[in-house]
A and B are shown apart, each in its own frame.
Chain A
Amino acid sequence: MPKQKILIVDDDPDLKKGLNLRLRANHYDTVYASDGFSAVMMAQKERPNLIILDIGLPAGDGFVVLERLQKNAALATIPVIVLTARDPQTNKERTLKAGATAFLQKPADNAELLEAISAALDQPPGTMAQS
């Protein structure tokens, strides 16, 4: 079975690097983008199986990215895990409504993140589409 590909979208290079190592060690392929605009471009080009998305981003924040993904039928089915330092009390519901699959607060525990990833990936294809 080919490796699942994960797109990491975060403007913090350290976090990206660390996450990359972690995910590769757990047999995922990774690609990245560090701003909202290239996030959508990368999603188009790479067609990842999952996206890990920060909210505070240059050139289109996480909400803009979610909206663009939802508008594109081919990308709307990709599960998105939002990983942000922002307060879940004010942001969680909003991101889920915008089409995210899960909301995790930074700093997220490795085990927690890996569980969220495998949970999001075992979803049968097509079920994530918004009506």
Chain B
Amino acid sequence: MDNGLMNVLLIEDNAGDADLVRLRLLEGGSHVYVSCVDRLSAALASVAQQPPAVVLLDLTLPDSNGPEAFRRLHDQAPGVPVVILTAVDDEEMAVKTVQQGAQDYLLKGQVDGKQLIRAIRCAMDRQALLTSLETSRQQQLQFKDEFLSHVSHEMRSPLASIHQFVSILFDGLAGPVPAEQRDHLETILKSINQLQAMIHDLLEATRAVSGKVRIEPCGIGVTEVIQGAITLLRSATQEKQIGLELVVGPSLPLVYADADRVLQVLINLIGNAIKFTPHRGSIMAKAWLEDVDPGFVYISVSDTGRGISPEAKPSIFERMYQEPAALDNIRSGLGLGLYIAKELVELHGGRIWFTSQLGEGSIFTFTLPRFSLAGLLTPVITHQGRLREALVLIKVEVSPPPGTSAFRRKAASLCCREVLQHCIYVDRDLVLPGLGNSEPDEIFFIVASTTLQRAEVMLTRIREQLERCPELKASGAFNVSASSLELPTAHDEVRLEKLVLQVAEHVTDTVVLALRRPQNFKGISKPKPADGRTGKRRTHAKAKNSDRRR
């Protein structure tokens, strides 16, 4: 206390009782300052403003009663010791509140001043101890995360060096290698790859804990990503002779997601499925729409593996979790895959869960939000519940000379997107996200809330910035143009959502026309009727939206 006084907050609605307690405190020790409130709401406000050294809480208050009063107070200020001081002699309630974190449960009539002061001091000491324990626990957790992050970071360079030189030997760059030695080198390489994957997971997980993982969503087709994951894991399935099948509902809409991150989730899920599925088992990846949840695309990975034991089920998404039964025989990895998968799915605004039957297999399912142009446009083209007065569609076209490598085109594309992001007002303009998974974007669109005349300023700025970008300069010409967007007429009875939807449709039509990519890019289309969904497509069938612009 600044003034040497112990600051006591008394929460008591009975004025007589309040005076009595105050009196007791003063007779028990003079270094006490008592402030009194008669409502829990007032107490919460007072605690928020200046936390007292201790709270004396009556459990029968006009605006809150019993353990509930304590819980709300404790939630708001977990570090402030609370002594219950009540007329209710209820042993059960006493035990319950103390279990929940109250420091003591005293009866009003039974304590004198000295006892009360002693109880308060003990409460404060215990609370201080608890607080310091919690602080050191937090410090240790943080230390552990930093340690893990640091160690895995430091292990990468020597590991990369081992990888480099073993692969130099393996590739015969240092002289011919006999077949048997090559075989051994291959075993070493495989182990190094495992180690590198683990370290990568560790770094990812520590990044996820500290909230450093970023996603860059755009409109992508999940089928392509699933196919990518299947291709990457093909050799692992062939080794165990596991069948891996992809089943995709027809006309699956695009999702708003980061393709690299979704690939990571799928590799984790399918990788797990392979790990826990016996020889000649089968794995199926599925993507479909669910009528009850039309805003999301569902993706699942099911296997005919060992399944997950009931005891393991609650902890399966926890960091570093390994199923005990799995430890003996098929232990590999750090138990981070599902944790990372969950973090990544939730960053996209999706959910992940599983069902599993011991001995029969598991199904992991996750959802990703559908790409909705209207959803992205709403905060930008509406203002105070109305559509903006004028909208302009800006088109930026980068045309690299023929024969430019994919790498350079990608660099130019990234650079262009970055430049455009810097040239707009984020609250009223939108750079449309890229569409598709692999090809670098070469045509960009901006929906800007401005008039055609005023848009000229933005166009000039964009041209200037693009000219300064070394990657774009190397990749050839670019073209920037603008056209005004026709606005739907607003009648009173037409809802704003509908208007936004109309703008979105209009933008989509224009964009699709420009990209000459007619089908399946309707981020805004309605879910297809259920009868169309029963048809199935196999792995080798090409996804519709992979038919990209040439």
Q: Point out residues on A near B: beta carbons under 8 Å.
A: 12, 14-15, 18-19, 21-22, 25, 85, 89, 93, 96, 99, 101-102, 106-107, 110, 115-116, 118-119, 122-124, 127-128, 130-131
Q: Are B157 and A21 closer than 8 Å at their CB atoms? A: no
Are A107 and B408 in contact, with the CB atoms below 8 A?
no
Distance between B135 CB and nearest chain A CB, rounded to angstroms: 29
Q: Is A128's CB under 8 angstroms from B165's CB?
A: no
A25: chain B residues at CB < 8 Å are 171, 173
CB distance from B371 to the nearest CB of A (A): 25
Inter-subunit contact B157/A85 (CB<8 Å): yes
Contact partner, A123, options B156, B161, B164, B408, Cβ 8 Å: B408
B163 within 8 A of A: yes
Q: Which of A18, A107, A116 contacts B159 (CB 8 A)?
A: A107
- Complex Cα distance A14/B468, Å? 37
Known interface pairs A12-B161, A122-B408; 4 further A-B residue pairs with C-beta atoms within 8 A, sorted by A's residue number: A18-B161, A119-B406, A124-B474, A130-B470
Q: Is the CB of B468 within 8 A of A131?
A: yes
Chain B residues near A119 (CB-CB < 8 A): 405-408, 411
Chain A residues with Cβ below 8 Å from B411 are 102, 119
Cβ of B87 under 8 Å from chain A: no
| Alpha-carbon separation in the docked complex, A124 to B403 (Å) | 12
CB atoms of A127 and B474 under 8 A apart: yes
A128 CB contact (under 8 Å) in B153, B168, B470? B470
Separation of A116 and B174 alpha carbons in the complex (Å): 24
Sample of 14 A–B contacts (CB below 8 Å): A12-B161, A14-B164, A15-B161, A18-B165, A21-B173, A22-B168, A85-B157, A89-B212, A99-B470, A116-B407, A119-B405, A124-B474, A127-B473, A131-B467
CB distance from A63 to the nearest CB of B (A): 16
In the complex, residue of chain B having the shortest beta-carbon distance to the beta carbon of A105: B156
Q: Which residues of B contact A116 (CB under 8 A)?
A: 407
Q: Is residue B214 contacting chain A, with contact meaning CB distance below 8 A?
A: yes
Complex CA–CA separation, A19 to B160 (angstroms):
11
| Residues 163 to 222 of chain B near chain A (Cβ within 8 Å) | 163-165, 167-168, 171, 173-174, 196, 212, 214
Chain B residue with the shortest CB-CB distance to A116? B407
Q: Which residues of A contact B168 (CB under 8 A)?
A: 18, 21-22
Contact A96 B405 (CB under 8 A): no
CB closest chain-B residue, reference A79: B474
Please judge, given known A-B contacts A25-B171, A119-B408, whether A107 and B474 are in contact too, CB under 8 Å.
no
Chain B residues near A19 (CB, 8 Å)? 164
**A40 to B389 alpha-carbon distance, docked (Å):** 56
**B405, A118: Cβ atoms under 8 Å?**
yes
Of all chain A residues, the one with the shortest Cβ separation from B153 is A85
Whole-angstrom CA separation of A123 from B214 in the bound complex: 31
- B 397-429 to A, binary, CB cutoff 8 A, 1 in contact else 0: 000000001111001000100100000000000
Interchain CA distance A76-B167 in the complex, whole Å: 34
Secondary structure at the B interface, as helix, strand, loop or mixed, is helix
A16 CB to nearest B CB, Å: 11
Tell me the complex Cα distance, A96–B405, Å. 19
- Knowing A14-B161, A22-B164, A106-B157 touch, does A123 contact B174 (C-beta < 8 A)? no
B407 in contact with A115 (CB, 8 Å)? yes
A128 CA / B473 CA spacing, docked (Å): 8
Q: Tell me the bound Cα distance from A115 to B182 in angstroms.
A: 26
**Complex CA distance for A102 and B157, rounded to whole angstroms:** 20
- Return chain A residues, CB-CB under 8 Å to B471: 96, 101
Contacting residue for B405 out of A21, A101, A122, CB 8 A: A122
Q: Which residues of A contact B163 (CB under 8 A)?
A: 107
- Chain A residues within 8 Å of B405, by CB: 115, 118-119, 122
Interface string of B461-497 (1 = CB under 8 A from A): 0000001101101100000000000000000000000
| Contact residues in B for A99 (Cβ distance below 8 Å) | 470
Cβ of B440 to closest chain A Cβ, rounded Å: 12
CA gap between A99 and B165 in the complex, in Å: 31
Bound CA span A110–B164, Å: 8
Query: What mask results when residues 135 to 156 of chain B are scored 1 for a CB within 8 Å of chain A, else 0?
Result: 0000000000000000001001
**Inside 8 A of A127's CB, which chain B residues have their CB?**
473-474
Q: Within the assembled complex, what's the spacing in Å between the Cα atoms of A110 and B473? A: 28
Interface centre among B168, B405, B470, B473 (most CB of A within 10 A): B470
- In Å, the complex CA distance between A14 and B411 comes to 29
Q: Binary interface profile of B, 510-530, with partner A (CB < 8 Å = 1, else 0)?
A: 000000000000000000000
Question: Which of A107, A118, A122 makes the CB contact (< 8 A) with B160?
Answer: A107
Which residue of chain A has the shortest Cβ distance to B401 in the bound complex?
Answer: A124
CB < 8 Å neighbour of B470 from A96, A107, A110: A96
Give the 7 A-B residue pairs with the shortest CB-CB distance, closest first: A107-B160, A119-B407, A18-B164, A127-B474, A119-B405, A25-B173, A14-B161
